[in-house]
Amino acid sequence: MSLKRIVGRLVFLVLVIWAASTITFFIPRLSPRNPIRERFAELARIGGFSPQDLEAIVASYNTKFGLDKPLWQQYFDYVSSVARFDLGVSLNKYPKTVIDLIMESLPWTIVLLFVTTILSFVLGNLLGAIAAWPRAPGWLRSLATPFVLLMGVPPVLMGVLLLFFIGFRLKLLPLGSAYSTGMVPDWSSLSFILNVAKHQILPALSLILGSVGGWVLSMRGMGVTIQGEDYVLFAEHKGLSGFVIFKDYYLRNALLPQVTGLALALGTVVTSNIVVESLFGLPGLGRVLSQAIQANDFLVIYGIVLFITIAVATLMVVVELLYPLLDPRIRQE
């Protein structure tokens, strides 16, 4: 891949980050509501301090966060802060910064997202390729059917069903949280790691069961179109074994467009992951975002949304840059 192409993709990524930052900045300011005033008005009702104190506190926070400055200066300060990876300070968990909250919860989100994405991608594409391969046994090709039927079930609804039947009724797996109550986190302990893994099974199944069917259908469609390609027919006439033809000529070429589909699906996957985390009470970005919404912690909400947007855009650019390495036939100037 040429240097010009790489620079062009990086410039595109910078423009996406700038556009996401601009939208995140201006959309909240289109509303006449003041999140800081609403947050402390709620605390005033609980704590009972006077309206004069409320006005003084709101004015102090407006000055602290620069909300008393002209709009153009606020925008410049905000974009400059984003460039320094400074997304502000949490109102609900002051003085923790938004970046601190994201970094504390990010490992849980990354592990769940990575495992479920890889498993659903591999399983779905393998089943889809087998379903379209005419030499595959009938019972093996039929394994893809249940996953296709489940693809219409949203991950949240799938999670509720799994919680009710497997967790509540059968009591086979925990109902939620990252690990059992009373356990002290110790990543050097095998029992703690196994306990954490046990708590991740239901959230992982919620994400996998609903996404495998999509990969099955798209891969099956690609497999059907590849069956009549000249290189597949040539491999058959050479007398190569069915496994070699399936692995090197059929599956490998059908898988290339799926990599692009993976990049396009990342936004949906990340969103579903966050919602499922909130449902199961996992200490990931989903729970942090849910708590921020309940507490009207607008800086955390906007910070997480911006962070997710940047992360998805970055992953899409990385996949696009790696795509020519996966297919030697591609030459981009």
- Alpha-carbon distance of 290 to 61, in angstroms, equals 23
The reported pTM is 0.75
pLDDT at 35 over 70: no
pLDDT of residue 321: 74
- For residue range 12-27, list pLDDT tens digits in order: 888 888 888 888 778 7
Among residues 300, 274, 309, the alpha carbon closest in space to that of 109 is found at 274
Q: How far is CA 102 from CA 79, 108, 299, 333, in A?
A: 19, 10, 12, 38
Close Cβ partners of 125 (under 8 Å, ≥ 6 residues apart) = 215, 216, 219, 251, 255, 258
Residues 91 and 298: beta-carbon distance below 8 Å:
yes
- For residue range 105-141, list pLDDT tens digits in order: 888 888 888 888 888 888 888 888 888 877 777 777 7
Query: For 176-191, what is the mean pLDDT?
Result: 80
| Topology (CATH) of 105-295 | MetI-like fold (1.10.3720)
Neighbours of 174 (CB within 10 A): 19
pLDDT of residue 333: 46
Residues 15 and 271: beta-carbon distance below 8 Å:
no
- Alpha-carbon distance of 50 to 4, in angstroms, equals 62
- Alpha-carbon distance of 294 to 91, in angstroms, equals 12
For residue 33, name the pLDDT band (cuts at 50, 70, 90). Answer: low
